[in-house]
Amino acid sequence: MKMIRFLVIGRVIIAYRQCLESLSMCRWNTTLFIVKPTNNLAASTSPDGETLLLQEHDGEYFLKVGGVPLMSTTACSSEQMMAELACGPGGRTQRVLIGGLGFGFTLRKVLELVSADSDVEVAELLQVIIDWNREYLRAVNGALLDDGRVEVLKKDVFKIMQSGGRYDAILLDVDNSPDPLVQKGNGRLYQRRGLEIARAALRANGRVVYWSAHEDPGFVRLLRKVFSRVEAIPAKAYPKAKRFTHTLFVAGR
């Protein structure tokens, strides 16, 4: 019995020492538990009258529209996957149109995939998004706007597609989803007429990729009425995510 008591007491002492060591480590690393402030870097008003707010927290950047989180530098995997689906293997991608600059992650991946003589047009209707990328987000992806292959157009991507330009790839990330919309004015891009305009703007083997925060079977059905090849591909928000929360709709002529 004494031996058992000694063993039990010994284990308690060891556990106690381990606990003290853990507490000591916590004391040495108290900075890990300090809540860092969220900094409001800039604000503006969208054409719909919503407040656009650029924030920074612990080295990461966030954009909110009307109080709704729209994008961040912490979750950008699906934006890069868009480029892989649009400009990956299967054909030469000479001319690309990106609708929506965002934080530039789609642009970065496109530039990694296309050739040195490709032309990449970025349509961004909001001048503040362009300015914020150059001023606050230059170290993220803003410097890419100076790449010789890139032309930034302060224009509505819908009108650019109407101009009859023929693109090998069109990447549209202008809202959270086909439905519901963050900005009502974007709705026409996801209606049948908008899909027909996107199809007409593609070259023979071109494809268009639509980003969405969620699945949308109704949008898939509408795409299939206009395009010959349609896929709805689940995507992760960030590499280590356990779930596929986003959806990329890929449509080819």
Both 210 and 153 in one domain: the answer is yes
Both 190 and 103 in one domain: the answer is yes
pTM exceeds 0.85 = no
Amino acid of residue 95 = R
Both 115 and 215 in one domain: the answer is yes
Both 186 and 246 in one domain: the answer is yes
pLDDT in tens, 224-251: 999 999 999 999 987 888 898 999 999 9
Both 53 and 124 in one domain: the answer is no
pLDDT in tens, 54-95: 999 999 999 998 888 888 999 889 999 999 999 986 557 999
Strands 68-72 and 60-65, bridge-based pairing: antiparallel
Both 229 and 130 in one domain: the answer is yes
Domain boundary among 16, 48, 68: 68
Identify the burial level of 103 via C-beta atoms within 10 angstroms of its C-beta, where 0-12 means exposed, 13-18 middle and 19 or more buried.
buried
Both 115 and 211 in one domain: the answer is yes
Both 141 and 247 in one domain: the answer is yes
Both 141 and 156 in one domain: the answer is yes
Cβ neighbours around 73 below 10 Å, total: 17
Both 11 and 118 in one domain: the answer is no
Structural domain that includes position 55: 38-68
Q: How many CA atoms lie within 13 A of 76 on its CB side?
A: 20
Both 58 and 135 in one domain: the answer is no
Both 10 and 104 in one domain: the answer is no
Q: What is the CATH number of the domain that holds 227?
A: 3.40.50.150
Domain boundary among 47, 68, 89: 68
Mean predicted lDDT score pLDDT of the chain: 85
The total domain count for the chain is: 3
Alpha carbon distance 196, 227 (integer Å): 8
